[in-house]
Amino acid sequence: MQNRSGILRWDEYRRGLQMLLTRIAGQGRISELLDASDSSLEVDTFFRRMNWSGRTKGQAEALSSRARAICESYCTGANNAFARRAPWELKLLGYRPEPWTVEDILLVLRMLGYVTLAQSQGEMERLLSRWSRQALPGRGSTS
């Protein structure tokens, strides 16, 4: 769907639950909003220490007018979709989505960058481990 300026808006069929859960986790609010268990508190503590929400307001204000317009259009589409139909899984827990903001976009981007880096590092470590096992005589397979 596009608005009058031709900027793409958020499509309600694109992973609303994933967006909301990612934001809740990134803000370190799982135990506050969804599950008050000790394990959720540990996850919240980790994410709060990472401080991915920190300084997002300043970064949002520093965006170019075009980038800001694109982000705001996306947020408008997301908020309209959540107002029409929030993910049923979160409704069961009594959670009502807070408005999606440009700062939330920046938070999710930070988290994606971290996860991507962590996955890449893990894959590289496995590859180096396999190579070292193959290179050392008597270790690993030679094929």
Q: What is the pTM of this model?
A: 0.73
Q: 16-135: which CATH architecture?
A: Orthogonal Bundle (1.10)
> Which of 108, 106, 113, 114 lies closest to 14, judged by CA?
108
Signed CA dihedral, 18, 96, 80, 104: sign only:
negative
C-beta neighbour count of 85 within 10 angstroms: 10
Task: For residue 140, name the pLDDT band (cuts at 50, 70, 90).
Answer: low
**Position 95 pLDDT exceeds 50:** yes
Q: CB–CB of 108/19 below 8 Å?
A: yes
Over range 110-115, report the average pLDDT.
Answer: 86
Q: What does the alpha-carbon distance between residue 97 and residue 85 come to, in Å, rounded to a whole number?
A: 10
pLDDT, one tens digit per residue, over 55-70 is 889 999 999 999 999 9
Two tokens, residue 76: 């408008």
Over range 104-117, report the average pLDDT.
Answer: 88
Over range 35-44, report the average pLDDT.
Answer: 93
Q: What does the alpha-carbon distance between residue 41 and residue 61 come to, in Å, rounded to a whole number?
A: 31
Cα 9 to the center of its chain, rounded Å: 18
Percentage with pLDDT > 70 across the chain: 85
Q: How far is CA 21 from CA 26, 62, 87, in A?
A: 8, 26, 10
Reported in sequence order, the residue ranges of 8-142 that DSSP labels E, i.e. its strands, are none
User: 3: which residues sit within 8 A by CB, 6+ positions away?
Assistant: 9, 73, 76
Question: Where are the chain's structural domains?
Answer: 16-135
